[in-house]
Structure 1
Amino acid sequence: MTSQAADGPETVVASRRSKITPERELEFFDAALDQIRECGYDALSMEGIATSTRCSKSTLYRQWKTKPQFVAAALRAKHCPRFGGIDTGSLAGDLRAAARAAGERSDDDTRLLQALGPALMQDDELQRALHDVLVGPELCALQAMIQRAVDRGEIAADHPVLEFVPAQLLGMVRVRPLLERRYADADYLERYVEVALLPALGLSEAT
């Protein structure tokens, strides 16, 4: 049997996929997420991405069989945790820093969440990808901040407000656009932490 005959379909597919460089993949993903933010998930099409990035539609379909698979891959590839690395030495300082970090990207993240909303209810893969990218890492980082504060003896482990901290901080990012038609920027979130979250935790503003 010749080496050519030994190459099966999986080998051929692998060689085709290898032609897409990581840099080229990021171009596809950036174009897709930008279009979702501007026009919504339903308006996104593989054909449109192929046209805007000047590639073959078949190239996209060989790598990602469906639009949900493609968008899920884009979400995971563009993963950029906001709260990772925050450790100021105090829970109040950590929450202030988290508020600033969340506010700096709240417009892009909120627009993406709003655009994906209906599709998330229908596609489990998109839900998992969004949780992996925008929810899970931030939740883990906030929980780590709280645990460090407990370990330092800064706050009691059974403080009744602690379990609600992630929902309060992340929830404000989503709620303000609905209530005021404005994004929750860094100034807004920092003020929320100072006047609402820290007092609820029994931490002074000077902490």
Structure 2
Amino acid sequence: MTRKQDGEAGGPRRKAEIFTATLDMLGSLGYDSLTVEGVAQRSGVNKTTIYRWWSSKSELLRDALLHSHILRFELADTGSLRGDLTELAVQLQDLLADEHRRTVVEAALVGAVRHQAMRELVISFLDDRFGRHRPLFERAVARGDLPPDADPTPLVDAMAGALWMRVLVRRGEVSDTYTRDLVDMLMDGVTRAAGRRPSPAR
């Protein structure tokens, strides 16, 4: 078996190793110092193999952000929008409580402020995660927890923004009380917004 065939046969495993090395380097060195050569050395995968799968650092980092397990969330289905939001907040809280995953998030956000390419990668990642959680809000509409024309984007931005501010900027702990109060405020906002909407014409 040739080296190329061996590399392709081990594709999924090797890609997981490459993604791990890529995000490790992003977290420890930042976007500027992240290189394909460095990823090759850290992952033990030949540089030519990496370039065969990804033509640039940006393409590699995009796939690492989208497909690595360390930034993955499970889709909650608790039977209510309040419960689903609470579960989502807890998962985000757990992610930020993990030092390694927190450094990756911090490096990605810092890079997004400084570099257009990194900003586009972060936006692509957030859009992907929002798309994966869209069924949560579709179920909420079906149950009547959200109006059919409601835009859930501000709801997600407010929750994630509050947790990021709490952990990444203030360096504060996120207690169960904080998470519960945050979800309560968001749900109060959803209820008020629904109450201000005009009734459908009969």
Q: Do they fold alike, i.e. is TM over 0.5?
A: yes
Q: Does 1:48 align with 2:38?
A: yes
Quote the offset at 1:156 in angstroms.
4.2
Gaps of 5+ in 2: 193-202
- What are the equivalent positions in structure 2 for 1:190-201 lying under 5 Å apart? 190-194=180-184, 196-201=185-190
Map of 2:12 onto structure 1: 22
Q: Does 1:149 align with 2:140?
A: yes
Return the alpha-carbon distance in structure 1 between the equivalents of residues 181 and 28 of structure 2: 29
Quote the offset at 1:43 in angstroms.
1.8
Return the alpha-carbon distance in structure 2 between the equivalents of residues 169 and 105 of structure 1: 14
Aligned-partner residue type, residue 60 of structure 2: F
Quote the offset at 1:53 in angstroms.
2.5
Quote the offset at 1:132 in angstroms.
4.5
Q: Does 1:112 align with 2:101?
A: no
Aligned-partner residue type, residue 136 of structure 1: D
Quote the offset at 1:30 in angstroms.
0.3
Q: Does 1:66 align with 2:60?
A: no
Deviations 1:16-55 (A, max 9, x none): 8625521112111101101211221112222222222233
Return the alpha-carbon distance in structure 2 between the equivalents of residues 37 and 31 of structure 1: 10
Which has the larger Rg? 1
Quote the offset at 1:78 in angstroms.
1.4
Deviations 1:188-207 (A, max 9, x none): 4333113x22333349xxxx
**Structure 1 residues 31, 163: closer, same or farther in 2, change over 3 A?**
closer
SS in 1 for 2:88: helix
Map of 1:32 onto structure 2: 22
Q: Percentage identity across aligned positions?
A: 26
Return the alpha-carbon distance in structure 2 between the equivalents of residues 146 and 157 of structure 1: 10
What TM-score do the two structures reach when normalised by structure 2? 0.70
Gaps of 5+ in 1: 1-13
Q: Does 1:98 align with 2:88?
A: yes
Aligned-partner residue type, residue 52 of structure 1: R
RMSD: 3.4
Deviations 1:73-123 (A, max 9, x none): 222331664252x12111211111111122121355553343134544422
- What are the equivalent positions in structure 2 for 1:171-186 lying under 5 Å apart? 171-177=161-167, 179-182=169-172
**Structure 1 residues 51, 158: closer, same or farther in 2, change over 3 A?**
closer
